[in-house]
């Protein structure tokens, strides 16, 4: 039996297939097809499909939600619910460096709210806003699963655990000066991980 053509995975939704084919490249369709093979049911691949879209476009707009719904064969309302539930998905453009500060219980007890206030002041924007140059945005988030490292702050996918206010200022200063996210302190203390992070 020959390999499944990516197009074939989407032709059962003929109303959407032409539009999807016009939006995504052949390479992207192959990637989605691979994902859907790995996840079994089309709907089960929704999270990686959304992540793929966000990585390519920076955020997930209404049209992208429709595309994801068609690809994963789920209602658009379901896609919207997923995008709104997970803080890792953005339904509007955010900064190149998206700073997330946790203020849930563990982090709150260890200074998360003060850290958030410091970062808002440092970056110069309020919650869920982006700086005029598009470099930074900030978001107050609920538990990011790193409670043992409270208080924690994340910049894009890099987590800074047990971070002090002074260190957080240093992270922003480093990004402003070098246009890159610094290696988190706790990673730098572990040689094997530090090596991997710097590769």
Closer residue to ligand FES (CB): 70 or 152: 152
104 binds ligand FES (CB under 6 A): yes
Helix 46-57 and helix 26-39, axial crossing angle in degrees, nearest 10: 150
- Residues within window 136-175 making contact with ligand FES, judged by CB under 6 A: 143-144, 146-147, 150, 152
64 versus 144: smaller Cβ distance to ligand FES:
144
79 binds ligand FES (CB under 6 A): no
3-state secondary structure of 118: helix
Task: Tell me the closest approach of the beta carbon of residue 161 to ligand FES, in angstroms.
Answer: 8
Q: Which is nearer to ligand FES, 71 or 144 (CB)?
A: 144
Q: Is 102 in the site for ligand FES (CB under 6 A)?
A: yes
DSSP H stretches of helix in 11-164: 14-23, 26-39, 46-57, 62-72, 76-85, 105-109, 112-123
Bridge-partner residues for 155, per DSSP? 99, 158
181 near ligand FES, rule: CB under 6 A: no
Place of tokens 């719904």: 69
Contacts of 78 (CB under 8 A, 6+ apart): 46, 69
Burial of 17 (0-12, 13-18, 19+ CB in 10 A): middle
Contact pattern for ligand FES over residues 26 through 55, marking x by CB under 6 A: ------------------------------
- Say whether 111 sits in a helix, a strand or coil: coil
For residue 188, CA distances in Å to 115, 162, 192 come to 22, 14, 9
**What residue has token string 């409270």?**
150
Shortest Å distance, C-beta 111 to ligand FES: 11
Beta carbon of residue 68, minimum distance to ligand FES (angstroms, whole number)? 28
Query: What's the closest the beta carbon of residue 101 comes to ligand FES, in angstroms?
Result: 9
Judged by CB, which is closer to ligand FES: 6, or 112?
A: 112
The nearest distance, CB 104 to ligand FES, in angstroms, is: 4
Q: Which stretches of the chain bind ligand FES, using CB under 6 A?
A: 102, 104-107, 143-144, 146-147, 150, 152
């Amino acid at each position: 039996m020959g390999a499944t053509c990516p197009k074939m995975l989407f032709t059962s939704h003929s109303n959407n297939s032409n539009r999807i084919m016009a939006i995504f490249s052949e390479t992207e369709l192959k990637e989605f097809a691979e994902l859907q093979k790995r996840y079994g049911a089309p709907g089960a691949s929704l999270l990686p499909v959304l992540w793929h879209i966000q990585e390519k476009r920076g955020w997930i707009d209404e049209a992208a939600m429709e595309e994801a719904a068609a690809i994963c064969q789920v209602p658009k309302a379901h896609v919207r619910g997923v995008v709104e539930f997970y803080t890792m998905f953005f339904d509007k453009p955010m900064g190149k460096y998206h700073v997330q500060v946790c203020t849930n219980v563990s982090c709150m007890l260890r200074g998360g709210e003060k850290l958030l206030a410091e970062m808002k002041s440092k970056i110069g924007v309020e919650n869920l806003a982006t700086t005029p140059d598009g470099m930074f945005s900030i978001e107050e988030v609920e538990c990011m699963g790193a409670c043992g490292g409270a208080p924690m702050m994340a910049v894009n996918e890099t987590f800074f655990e047990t971070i002090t206010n002074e260190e957080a200022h240093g992270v922003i200063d480093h990004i402003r000066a070098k246009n890159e996210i610094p290696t988190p302190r706790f990673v730098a203390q572990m040689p094997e991980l530090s090596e991997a992070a710097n590769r």
